[in-house]
Structure formats: structure tokens, C-alpha cells
Amino acid sequence: MLSKKTQYAFHALIHLAENADKGPILISEIAQEKSISIKFLENILLELKNAGILGSKKGKGGGYYLLKTPKEIPLAKIIRLLDGAIALLPCVSLNYYERCENCRDEAVCGLNDVMSKVRDATLKILENKTLKDILTRNVSIL
């Protein structure tokens, strides 16, 4: 299950993308629109900024805005940034790998094998679907 942090990040990014034409967006606007604690959202947007996904402008008329087009932001990237590993086990994680104690040889571990398949199937979707893909259907009904 994705953490609240990641879920909130998705909602915030969707709002930013759908209002990209309006210049910098206030944290408070996103917080209100999506029912997220404003201070908690601050932390999340800051992480997204430090990762180079968002930019911010201080002072009056400031706020947050996307630094990339929605199409350039894969969902997997957001999840990894805020939640860490996408894989179900540390020993099959590509980005947060940890060796498995009690496992003589991961190459012949059946659990490792199955979980690698799950990881591949998941990543095939999450690395190819982008912020743009989770906007499409929303936008079409507006």
C-alpha cells in the first residue's frame, strides 16, 4: 500500500498540472482543494522540489509549479522518492536492494524468482505511465 505521503503527492501534482496555465500555485490552495494538512503538504512539496520535479517562487505571487511536463514524470519516480522501494522484498529491489540473509544463493531462491516477476510486472506499468496518464481521464470530463 502506498503511504499517505505518496498519495498526497499524486493529488498535488495532478492539481499543479491541471492548473499549470495559472502560474505558481499556493500550497494553501492545493491543501484546501485536496483536503490535506497544509504543513504536511509543505514537506511533501519541498521533497518534490529538492528532487527537481517542482520549482517554487517566493514572495507575493509565489507558489509551486511543475518544472517538467506531466509526460516527463513517471509514476514510479514519485513513489520511489516518497516511499522508497517499489518491490515487495528488499532482495529484489532495483533501487533499494538489500541482500537476503538466510539465503544461500538468491539466484536459486524461488521466492526471489516470483517476487522479481511481480516487480517487473509492476514496473512495466509504473515506469511507463506518467503524470499525464493520470490526468487524461480527469480532464476529459471537465
Partner DNA sequence: ATAAACTCTATAAAAAGGATAGACTTTTTT
Partner DNA sequence: AAAAAAGTCTATCCTTTTTATAGAGTTTAT
Q: Which residues bind DNA (CB under 7 A)?
A: 3-5, 8, 24-28, 36-37, 39-40, 42-43, 45-46, 49-50, 56-64, 83
Q: CA-based Rg of the chain, rounded to a whole angstrom?
A: 18
Note whether 67 binds its own copies by CB under 8 A: no
Rounded CA-CA distance 104/124 in Å is 29
Element (H, E) at 45: helix 38-50
Cell of 104: 544461500
Interatomic CA distance for residues 10 and 16, integer angstroms: 10
Query: Considering beta carbons, is residue 57 or 129 the nearer one to its own copies?
Result: 129
* Smallest distance, DNA to C-beta of residue 38, A: 7
- How many residues bind to its own copies according to rule CB under 8 A? 40
Q: Which of 46, 67, 81, 126 binds its own copies (CB under 8 A)?
A: 126
